[in-house]
Amino acid sequence: MIGRRVPPAGFAAAVAVTVGLLLAAPCPAANRRIYDAPAARIPLTQGKGPALQPAPATYLPAERGWIKFVYHPSTRDRVLPLLTRVDAFHEELNILLGREAFPETVEVRIAPPAELDQIAHGLDLGGASTAVFGDLRLVVLSAAPRGSLDTPELESMLRHALAHLALDQATKGATLPRWLHEGFAVHAAGDHKGLRAQTLCLAALRGQLSPLSSLDDLLPADAPEPSVAYAQSADFVRFLLDTSRREHFVGFVEHAHDGEPFAEAVGRSYEGSLAELELSWREDVARRYAFFPVLVGALSLLTLLCASAFGLRRWRERRPVSAPPPRKRVHIEREEPEPRSSRSSLPSVTPALASSARRRAEFDADEGVPKVEHGGRWHTLH
């Protein structure tokens, strides 16, 4: 009945019941969606946060300071190489966020698909191969394909999941748009760089870029990562993290960590609204990809010229080669000099000359042999 006063005792009881119901009800801030599995939610235990359940005893541990791996024995050869590379990615996240990304130990569990839901506290992950539990600082990875024929690349999946968790930890679990979380994870992990650039370029040339306000609806759990929405989200985060705006993003993380709403944190950090940032980003995309039609035209022309040159060369090689026409021979007659008379060139022989030559020949035959004269005659010594 309207206007009826509630007795003090009854009023106190009603307040107590109401407070009890509010404490027992799931709190949106504490009951956040699991990234990459939006249908799954972590149940609260008696109004408190969830507790991390131990992994099966058959799983093997491997710890490296800030991160701990708990993995199925069959994945050992794929997990151990990750231990040597996670520290470098940890430093990259620290630089992007401007603070320690993981102040507390992070646990990564890697299991076959049949045991994935079991180590994820029995939650149905909706077929996702990766799940991040921010409250538990837990990452769950599938060691085998789930709904795909391709073997999962553990390092790429781990980088993507750690980027989600780092942003969640840095902002103290702030409520952020899904496009920001996915864009940050895709950009930080470097997923499909070439394909994302191609997808974004074609979307920009066709005028198919979506407003930021509608990106969350275009990013369902089963959306392929190379889609336009993922490419657009990642590129907008790249724009926010550009060298000239890096400090603004660090300031945004600080404001979000302090509990400021998303729009206010963006406005205070970047000194402009999200709509103004989106407009600047679209202008940046237009400048970056304005050269693309010119590049395509130049490449097409170059391809045409190369194809023409190649075709002309093949045509010349296949054309029958005809014999060259015979060359005309020119006969040049040379005038030979008249032979000189042999008589004119030889001296005439006289009887005196012939006798002298005979005597010289006789003497020359024994030239060099000792001789003596005796009785008017010459004698040869032997």
Q: How confident is the model over 321-379, as pLDDT tens digits?
A: 666 666 666 556 666 666 665 555 555 556 665 666 566 555 555 555 666 666 667 66
Domain spanning 11-170: CATH superfamily: Collagenase ColT, N-terminal domain (3.40.30.160)
Buried b (16+ CB within 10 A) or exposed e, 113-146: bebbbebbbebebeebbbbbbbbbbbbbbbbbeb
User: Please, which pLDDT band fits residue 231 given cuts at 50, 70 and 90?
Assistant: very high
| 204, 253, 276, 285 from 279: Cα distances, Å | 13, 22, 5, 10
Please say if the pLDDT value at position 136 is more than 60.
yes
Q: What's the pLDDT score for residue 309?
A: 79
> Which tokens go with 108?
């990564």
CB 78 within 8 A of CB 154: yes
Q: Which of 17, 157, 138, 172 is nearest to 78 (CA)?
A: 157
User: Please, which pLDDT band fits residue 149 given cuts at 50, 70 and 90?
Assistant: low
Please say if the pLDDT value at position 24 is more than 50.
no
> Which tokens go with 61?
């541990």
Alpha-carbon distance 210 to 203, whole Å? Answer: 9
Alpha-carbon distance 197 to 164, whole Å? Answer: 21
Task: Report, as an integer, the average pLDDT of 69-91.
Answer: 93
Sign of dihedral through CA atoms 365, 370, 374, 379? negative
Residue with the bigger pLDDT between 37 and 262: it is 262
At residue 71, φ and ψ (nearest 5 deg) are: -135, 160
Q: What's the pLDDT score for residue 250?
A: 96
β-bridge pairing 138-142 and 106-111: parallel
pLDDT, averaged across the chain: 76
Task: Report, as an integer, the average pLDDT of 5-14.
Answer: 38
Please say if the pLDDT value at position 27 is more than 70.
no
Residue with the bigger pLDDT between 162 and 310: it is 162
Q: Which of 135, 122, 80 is nearest to 71 (CA)?
A: 80
Q: What's the pLDDT score for residue 87?
A: 95
Q: What's the pLDDT score for residue 118?
A: 74
Alpha-carbon distance 347 to 343, whole Å? Answer: 8
Residues of the chain with CATH 3.40.30.160: 11-170
Task: Report, as an integer, the average pLDDT of 30-55.
Answer: 54
Please say if the pLDDT value at position 229 is more than 70.
yes
Indicate the DSSP class of residue 1: -
Q: What's the pLDDT score for residue 54?
A: 83
Alpha-carbon distance 274 to 281, whole Å? Answer: 10
Please say if the pLDDT value at position 215 is more than 80.
yes
In one-letter notation, the amino acid at residue 261 is P
Q: What's the pLDDT score for residue 10?
A: 42
Task: Report, as an integer, the average pLDDT of 146-151.
Answer: 65
Q: What's the pLDDT score for residue 93?
A: 96
CB 160 within 8 A of CB 89: no
